[in-house]
Structure 1
Amino acid sequence: MNSELGPKIGEGNGSDVYAWGSNKVIKLAKPNTNLYAIQREYENHCLVWEKGLSVPQPFEIKEIDGRLGILYERIKGESLLGRYVNQAMSGPVSDEERMRNIRTNACITAEWLYGVHQHSCLKLPSQREIMKFVIGRADCITVHEKDAVLALLERLPVKQQLCHGDPNPGNIMIRNGRIFAIDWLNAAIGNPEADIAEYIITMKYAELPAYLPGESANYINGLREASVEHFVHEYSSLSGITFEEINSWIAPVAACKLSADIGAEERARLLHDIRTRL
């Protein structure tokens, strides 16, 4: 065991995150994450770091006790997901404070994502080609439904902007009011509307952590629609992209998420949304 390896401080679908010394973390792959994915995430992260985006500094790929991982700068703050959870568990709040929290979280997220989308000309894969591949391997929709979703995707305009690919609240770290984005595995060049659609779908349908008490879960569930509404309003004000333009991307992005490691309830919600739109 390496002497610098500290306690486990986080976990995702494909990795465990451990402290590394006093100011770094190492993201160690689980068995479901292969070498290609690790190398791709590291290379993507290096690209956005070199472009000057607000991300933790990447250092190197390391092997620890037979597990490959990526060494990063440690951001000592809270994730947006953690902020929602902490606000939910802090006790009853007034309607005024609840709306203030919603607006604050929506504003900082919209401003961050809009900033990401101002970049282009990075050596990253095509968002559209990735989406076609992922939709094609989804096993819970019919061939006819896949063809219909792919036809929708083909009709959408093509853009060439940097997209994060997985802008969910767990990948948005906040330190002293500044956002640092993590997990650039799915970064691509394409349409900002797809990133926005991904965020909307996550906010509306993602299952909450199982440890949340019922009252706290009810609090967060009660924020979903208002959070989406304020976020879309803020992003649209910054970018000029309309809700109608974003809405056109919901079905293709939702179809992509069917191939992810998600729960049965979330999968059912996505399927219902897709089929309603076809």
Structure 2
Amino acid sequence: MKHLAARPMSAHQQGMDGFTPQHHWTMIGQGASADVWAVDESHVVKLFRADVNDVPIALEYAAGLWAEAQGIPVARPIRRITVKGEPGEGKPGEGGAGAERSGILFAHVDGPDMLSAILHRPFRMWPLIRRLARLHARIHRAAGSGDLPRQVDVLRHRILRSRAGEAEISAALALLDRLPQDSRLVHGDLHPANLLLSSRGAIAIDWAQAASGVPAADAARTELLLRFGGAGVGRVPPLAGAITAHWYRHCYARFSGLRRSELDIWRLPVAVAWQRGQLGAAEARLTRWISGLMAQASI
């Protein structure tokens, strides 16, 4: 099956004619792979760094369109674009200079991200994580697309590249082959920084790791992100991470109807796939967590 992520960029490339010139854009966010610029009151552009290849950009665009078509609240992707030079620079009438950068034009969503809201008012963590779990279960009720990557293939690729030990990698691969598969829509990277709190409710953004697969595996990844932190989540103290992850699992099980045992069986392959030396001081905690999972499974 031909993946949407593999379609050539030229199929979606369009300029920004009719919009505010890019030297008037205002940066409103920065991430590891892209910056977000406000074009006008109704539109934003997510502009990727020059070293980001076409696959995740194409996937984020295509998966966002698919999720919207399934009734999931998303920042509506309008079209893919390329710009030359750095937005916010230059003078009126001047053409952009420098390397081309790829981006996606989105409809603007008002409201902060959920992580900022939690950090600003920590007592709101309980109802906000509950909202995250409810939306996650809603996403998982949607059908996946045959054009999206298969989650099982993504997990297998990441397990093979994991920095876990050989025994852990072998156990994760063996378990992955035995676990039941599905073809539901999965986000792949849902955490508080990837939810915007708008007047129309929580909005899921950043669909670059979306796939068709098993909801419980996707929930297991969100549990890990909440428990140990990582990109977009920040440093998480051990106790705070454990409490937040436990509350998320409780709420997700309630909204999804899945038993906790159905979630737990995905912990080992998802954790091994995620262990890539990205957590700094928390890496040792993740290693101990995986060792505990191995012991529980009597491996």
- How far off its partner does 1:207 sit? 5.0
Matched-pair contact (CA < 8 Å) for 2:77–2:107: yes
Paired position in structure 2 for 1:253: 270
How big is each residue's C-alpha offset from its partner over 1:28-59, in whole Å with a ceiling of 9 and x where there is no partner?
11244111221121111111122221001111
Paired position in structure 1 for 2:104: 70
- How far off its partner does 1:61 sit? 1.2
Paired position in structure 1 for 2:16: none
Paired position in structure 1 for 2:158: 134
- Give me the CA root mean square deviation: 2.5
Paired position in structure 1 for 2:220: 197
How big is each residue's C-alpha offset from its partner over 1:150-171, in whole Å with a ceiling of 9 and x where there is no partner?
1122222222211111111111
* Correspondence for 1:243 among 260, 266, 276: 260
Matches within 5 A, 1:1-278: 2-3=21-22, 5-65=24-84, 66-88=100-122, 98=123, 101-123=124-146, 124-138=148-162, 140-176=163-199, 178-206=201-229, 223-259=240-276, 262-278=278-294
Against the structure 1 CA distance between its residues 209 and 67, is the aligned structure 2 distance closer, same or farther, given a 3 Å change threshold? closer
CA distance in 2, matches of 1:5, 1:132: 44
- How far off its partner does 1:122 sit? 1.9
AA aligned opposite 2:103: G
Q: Helix, strand or coil for the counterpart of 1:275?
A: helix
AA aligned opposite 1:72: F
- How far off its partner does 1:134 sit? 1.4
- How far off its partner does 1:256 sit? 2.0
Against the structure 1 CA distance between its residues 201 and 16, is the aligned structure 2 distance closer, same or farther, given a 3 Å change threshold? same
Q: Helix, strand or coil for the counterpart of 1:78?
A: coil
Q: TM-score, normalised by structure 2?
A: 0.79
CA distance in 2, matches of 1:80, 1:52: 21
Q: Helix, strand or coil for the counterpart of 1:25?
A: strand
Q: Helix, strand or coil for the counterpart of 2:81?
A: strand
Matched-pair contact (CA < 8 Å) for 1:24–1:71: yes
How big is each residue's C-alpha offset from its partner over 1:201-249, in whole Å with a ceiling of 9 and x where there is no partner?
1111015989x9xxxx88x765433322222222212222122221211
Against the structure 1 CA distance between its residues 13 and 255, is the aligned structure 2 distance closer, same or farther, given a 3 Å change threshold? farther
Unaligned runs of 5+ in 2: 1-19, 85-99, 295-299
CA distance in 1, matches of 2:287, 2:279: 12
Q: Helix, strand or coil for the counterpart of 2:193?
A: helix
Unaligned runs of 5+ in 1: 89-97
Against the structure 1 CA distance between its residues 34 and 55, is the aligned structure 2 distance closer, same or farther, given a 3 Å change threshold? same
AA aligned opposite 1:252: P
Q: TM-score, normalised by structure 1?
A: 0.84
AA aligned opposite 1:59: I
Paired position in structure 1 for 2:90: none
What is the percent sequence identity of the aligned residues?
A: 26
- How far off its partner does 1:117 sit? 0.7
